[in-house]
């Protein structure tokens, strides 16, 4: 009788295990430091075991010559090695790993904190730093402390203008910014069946904002159908009765549109309480909310109208962009006055493509609103796509309408 983490890692919560890694990925930011550190370890070639990925997403295209030079070195290495490489415009690392790559039951690490995202497939997927990753390049394995698990029981289905992001902000608010530290969040219960993969990815993505090691869903019919669509065969995982260190319950029908107020992800209020707050920028995208269903929802809201504030939309991947072109979503967004960015992280990390000025306020669909993150003196509020798109039309925080 074990949690999904215990089952995949093969040991009981609290134990330390050495585990071979199935897939390991870095991006243009952490990859530079990983490569440098790996060379310092005296390494000549990559371990044979995991599948390795170098996925450029953070500052792409390069914003200055220093960045370009660092990226050039990593690109040369990646192209000369037996690893998977995605250059600028391919998309966000977590998204690319979620487009039919990560499979149920795998152990996956990414050199980025939001590497908890592919846990949505029933994998054990978590973030590590660059030096840990260099060790994995060298040996193909690393150590883990098998986490305690927090059970998040879901019932009912989302109603009205509420989205998975609102549920995510709800659990972050309930747990707080360190309430999940060292734990895995397991999303379980009847309500899970109502959530498509895009929603599950959003929910797992925010798990690290509680300090959690990962967020996980058991692979079910939704998972296997999604993976089959991407050409992958996978089996469903059957939950066993197990012991959770803590349990939370959410009736999805009770979830309302929410906003995380600058500068804390766990400082969450109903949109209702912030209506009228003036905005300078709206940003829709990121590994949280830059997927096809997100862009489609945004387009449904702004189609045939005009945004009242600068609105940046960044698809999470090239596949998402291609889908938006194919379905006409992109034309609707551009027609409404949205600015489209290169698939990737966009301005989320405050390095380029939408940095905020002193005193400016941004409503973003991302996962972090830390002080100064998107620009010194700028303030970030976090919301769902529907809230962000509706607010873009008015230039102030506005409640989304029911679908």
Partner 1 sequence: MHGAGHAVCLGPDIDTDVIIAGRFLRTKDHSIWVSHVFEDLDPALAGQLNGAVIVAGKNFGCGSSREQAAIALREAGVVAVVAPGFARIFFRNAINVGLPAIECSLSCIKGANVRFDLAAGWIETGGSQYPIRPLSPRMREILAAGGLVNYWRAHR
Q: Among positive and negative, which fits the CA dihedral 86, 90, 93, 99? A: negative
Would you count residue 370 as binding partner 1 (CB under 8 A)? yes
Q: Give the one residue of 9, 70, 93, 107 binding partner 1; rule: CB under 8 A.
A: 70
Minimum CB distance to partner 1, residue 330 (Å): 28
In terms of Cβ atoms closer than 10 Å to its own Cβ (0-12, 13-18, 19+), residue 1 is exposed
> Which residues neighbour 62 within 8 Å (Cβ) at sequence distance 6 or greater?
68, 71, 88
> Among 129, 108, 122, 104, which residue's Cα sits nearest to residue 30?
129
Minimum CB distance to partner 1, residue 125 (Å): 13
Binders of partner 1 in range 198-227 (CB under 8 A):
211, 213
Minimum CB distance to partner 1, residue 141 (Å): 12
Minimum CB distance to partner 1, residue 264 (Å): 7
Minimum CB distance to partner 1, residue 181 (Å): 6
Residue 227 or residue 361: which is nearer to partner 1 going by CB? 361
b/e 8-43 (16+ beta carbons within 10 angstroms → b): bbebebeeeeebebbbbbbbbbbbbbbbebbeeeeb
Would you count residue 33 as binding partner 1 (CB under 8 A)? yes
Would you count residue 41 as binding partner 1 (CB under 8 A)? yes
Pairing of strands 124-127, 107-110: parallel
Contact pattern for partner 1 over residues 126 through 145, marking x by CB under 8 A: -xxxxxx-xx--xx---x-x
Would you count residue 287 as binding partner 1 (CB under 8 A)? no
Pairing of strands 141-145, 16-20: antiparallel
Residue 278 or residue 372: which is nearer to partner 1 going by CB? 372
Would you count residue 279 as binding partner 1 (CB under 8 A)? no
Residue 56 or residue 226: which is nearer to partner 1 going by CB? 56
| CA dihedral angle for residue 207, residue 98, residue 119, residue 371, rounded to 10 degrees | -20
Minimum CB distance to partner 1, residue 9 (Å): 15
Minimum CB distance to partner 1, residue 74 (Å): 11
b/e 66-105 (16+ beta carbons within 10 angstroms → b): ebeebbeebbebbeeeebbbbebbbbbbbbbbbbbbbbbb
Q: Give the one residue of 223, 373, 382, 385 binding partner 1; rule: CB under 8 A.
A: 373
Would you count residue 368 as binding partner 1 (CB under 8 A)? yes
Binders of partner 1 in range 244-273 (CB under 8 A):
264
Residue 237 or residue 364: which is nearer to partner 1 going by CB? 364
Calpha distance 154→156 (Å, rounded):
7
b/e 196-226 (16+ beta carbons within 10 angstroms → b): ebbbbbbbbbbbbbbebbbbbbbbbebbbeb
- Intra-chain end-to-end CA distance of the chain, in Å: 41
Would you count residue 351 as binding partner 1 (CB under 8 A)? yes
Contact range with partner 1 by CB under 8 A, out of 59-67, 227-235, 285-293, 330-338: 59-67
Site for partner 1, rule CB under 8 A: 16, 29-30, 32-33, 36-37, 40-42, 59, 66-67, 70, 111-113, 115, 127-132, 134-135, 138-139, 143, 145, 177-178, 181-182, 211, 213, 264, 349-351, 368, 370-373, 376
């Amino acid at each position: 009788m074990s949690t999904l983490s215990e089952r995949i890692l093969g040991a009981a919560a609290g134990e330390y295990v050495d585990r071979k890694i199935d897939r390991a990925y870095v991006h243009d930011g952490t990859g530079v430091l990983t490569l440098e550190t790996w060379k310092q370890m005296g390494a000549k070639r990559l371990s044979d075991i995991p599948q390795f990925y170098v996925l450029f997403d953070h500052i792409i295209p390069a914003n200055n010559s220093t960045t370009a030079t660092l990226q050039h070195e990593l690109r040369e290495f990646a192209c000369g090695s037996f690893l998977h490489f995605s250059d600028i415009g391919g998309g966000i690392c977590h998204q690319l790993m979620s487009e039919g790559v990560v499979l149920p039951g795998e152990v996956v690490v990414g050199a980025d904190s939001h590497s908890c995202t592919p846990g949505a497939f029933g994998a054990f997927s978590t973030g590590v730093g660059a030096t840990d990753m260099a060790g994995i390049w060298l040996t193909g394995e690393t150590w883990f402390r098998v986490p305690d698990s927090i059970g998040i029981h879901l019932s009912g289905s989302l109603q009205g203008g509420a989205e998975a992001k609102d549920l995510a902000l709800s659990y972050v608010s309930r747990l707080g910014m360190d309430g999940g530290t060292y734990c895995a969040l397991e999303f379980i219960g009847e309500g899970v069946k109502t959530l498509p993969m895009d929603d599950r990815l959003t929910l797992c993505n925010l798990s690290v904002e509680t300090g959690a090691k990962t967020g996980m869903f058991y692979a079910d019919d939704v998972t296997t159908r999604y993976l089959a669509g991407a050409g992958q065969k996978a089996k469903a995982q059957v939950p066993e009765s197990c012991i959770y260190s803590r349990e939370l319950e959410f009736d999805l029908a009770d979830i309302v549109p929410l906003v995380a107020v600058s500068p804390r992800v766990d400082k969450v209020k109903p949109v209702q309480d912030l209506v009228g707050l003036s905005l300078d920028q709206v940003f829709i995208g990121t590994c949280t909310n830059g997927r096809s269903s997100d862009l489609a929802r945004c387009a449904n809201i702004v189609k045939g109208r005009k945004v009242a504030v600068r609105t940046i939309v960044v698809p999470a991947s090239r596949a998402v962009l291609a889908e938006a072109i194919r379905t006409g979503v992109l034309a609707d967004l551009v027609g409404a006055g949205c600015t489209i960015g290169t698939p990737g992280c966009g301005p989320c990390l405050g390095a380029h493509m939408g940095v905020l000025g002193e005193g400016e306020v941004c409503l973003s669909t991302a996962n972090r609103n830390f002080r100064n993150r998107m620009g010194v003196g700028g303030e970030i509020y976090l919301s769902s796509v529907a809230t962000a798109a509706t607010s873009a039309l008015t230039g102030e925080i506005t409640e989304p309408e029911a679908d």
